[in-house]
Chains A and B, each alone.
Chain A
Amino acid sequence: MMELIKQPWAWYVAGPLIGLTVPTLLIIGNKTFGISSSLRHICASCIPANIPFFKYNWRKEIWNLSFVFGIFLGGVIAINLLSDPSPVEVNPKLTEELAGYGITSFNNLVPEDILNWQSLFTLKGFLLMVVGGFFVGFGTRYAGGCTSGHAIMGLSNLQWPSLVATISFMIGGFVMANLLLPLILSL
């Protein structure tokens, strides 16, 4: 049983479990599933700076911060107690492409060849981590949600604006991954 849990999980196991988060949060406290909002609550609680968008009773949303802290702890537990020592399996086409950019280590879920503390001070690392992170935070809030809030919660509730948002996420991702990222990785 433990051996089975330690292997990477199939999509048809993980997807339904992620989907079940939607009714679980609704039933245990009338909370709608969404993760990017936690970034807004961090702003509201730490650096509101008198900006109207951050002036609200963030204490009512502490549940959301508790939820994301749980995600962090889940990461700690999964990697220390449930991990599988073999390298991450990646489509050979991608492996080949990445080798061209010097990405050859597949020991972690995050590619350590490009995302590490040293590379943070190079243009490539700065773009990927600092600018990329900024886009994630700015874009999700501007769009009113991320993959969890729009693609999973919004689509589950048949909200067409969430479909618009999800399609926009995918267009942005396809453009970056296929057209712009090769330029950044070549830096």
Chain B
Amino acid sequence: MQQETDVIEDLEIRSLDSVCVNESSLEHKWYHNLKYLVVGLLFGIVFVKAEVISWYRIHEMFRLQSFHMYGIIGSAVAVGAVSVWLIKKFDVRTIYGEPIKIPAKSFSKGQIYGGLVFGLGWAMTGACPGPLFAQIGTGATVIVVTLLSAVAGTWFYGLLRDKLPH
């Protein structure tokens, strides 16, 4: 019983301000994580080939000089939304037979304050977190500094979390 409470508490801490959490209660061997590496790899190739990681594409987007990024985000959301609707409608399960759970997002002022800060950083670096990893892969080694700085930013958020308005 105590163990179960610990597990629930741990999930609650992990899901604090985090959209992406592991909802699965199953334990797997380490090599099961390789499937995510493969999905990430394909995703990274799309990022590079469609120039989502391009500093120039991001700046065309913020200057309304190109439809490209709007088209990508818009069609990604459309496909994602239809998929989520189908999963819910037909009660699709995971490959391990678990019911699929998607945690709901609760509102916090952080979505406004943090969102604005991220927006400033997005236009400064020309990249959101995903593209940073891919940019390093394409040989832009200096972006390692940007990534480490983003880790530092995340760490300082964790440190100051209690003092910030939410």
Contact = CB atoms under 8 A, between A and B. Distances in A.
B2 to A, nearest CB: 15
Does more than half of chain B's interface fall in helix, strand or loop, or is it mixed?
A: helix
Q: Interface size for chain B: under 10, 10 to 19, 20 to 34, or 35 or more residues? A: 35 or more
A139 B115 CA distance: 6
A78 B44 contact: yes
Given A15-B75, A70-B39, A132 B121 contact: yes
A128 B122 CA distance: 10
Q: Interface size for chain A: under 10, 10 to 19, 20 to 34, or 35 or more residues? A: 35 or more
Interface string A14-53: 1111111111111111111111111110110001010111
Interface string B102-124: 11111110111111111111111
Nearest to B7: A57
Contact of B72 (A15, A29, A116, A178): A15
A87 B58 CA distance: 17
A139 B39 contact: no
Interface string B65-86: 1111101111111111101101
B33 A63 contact: yes
Contacts of B139: 79, 108
Contacts of A117: 141-142
A78 B92 CA distance: 33
A161 interface: yes
A68 B130 contact: yes
A184 to B, nearest CB: 7
Given A63-B36, A162-B105, A136 B122 contact: yes
Interface in A128-180: 128-162, 164-178, 180
A110 B140 CA distance: 7
Nearest to A156: B80
Contacts of A93: 63, 65
23 contacts: A11-B71, A15-B79, A16-B75, A19-B76, A23-B80, A25-B39, A39-B129, A53-B17, A70-B39, A78-B45, A108-B139, A109-B138, A132-B149, A133-B121, A136-B122, A137-B155, A139-B115, A139-B153, A142-B114, A150-B105, A157-B105, A168-B118, A174-B123
